[in-house]
């Protein structure tokens, strides 16, 4: 009966991971498999997947480097950054835009 219980848990984790993956514009099936095979970590991976790429970005006024919106100091030139008036769309949003 233990294997059965594990399968049920794996199934629900797979379902949750698949839904999260789908919401993020990835494949439901792939994340269903990942989350089902490695239940807890698969789901976490789905939750954090592309997290970075969906963050808004901004440009450093000093050197033009594109940084994360929440960065306080430019990693390239050391410029201290105010919170910007304009943010640059996230990488993910840019990709979804029709060319
Ligand atoms: Zn800079």
Note the pLDDT of residue 24.
77
73 CA → ligand 1 middle, Å: 8
82 CA → ligand 1 middle, Å: 12
Cβ atoms within 10 Å, residue 64? 10
92 CA → ligand 1 middle, Å: 23
In this prediction the pTM is 0.47
79 CA → ligand 1 middle, Å: 5
Ranges of residues in the chain whose predicted pLDDT is under 50:
none
85 CA → ligand 1 middle, Å: 17
Model confidence over 65-77: pLDDT tens digits? 888 877 888 889 9
Is the Cα torsion angle 18, 13, 53, 84 positive or negative in sign? positive
């Amino acid at each position: 009966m233990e294997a059965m219980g594990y399968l049920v848990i794996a199934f629900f984790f797979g379902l949750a991971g698949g839904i999260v993956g789908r919401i993020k514009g990835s494949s439901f099936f792939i994340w269903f498999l990942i989350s089902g095979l490695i239940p807890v970590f698969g789901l976490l991976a789905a939750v954090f997947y592309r997290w970075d790429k969906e963050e808004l970005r901004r440009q450093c006024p000093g050197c033009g480097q594109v940084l994360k919106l929440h960065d306080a100091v430019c990693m390239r030139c050391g410029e201290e950054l105010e919170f910007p008036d304009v943010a640059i769309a996230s990488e993910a949003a840019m990709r979804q835009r029709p060319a």
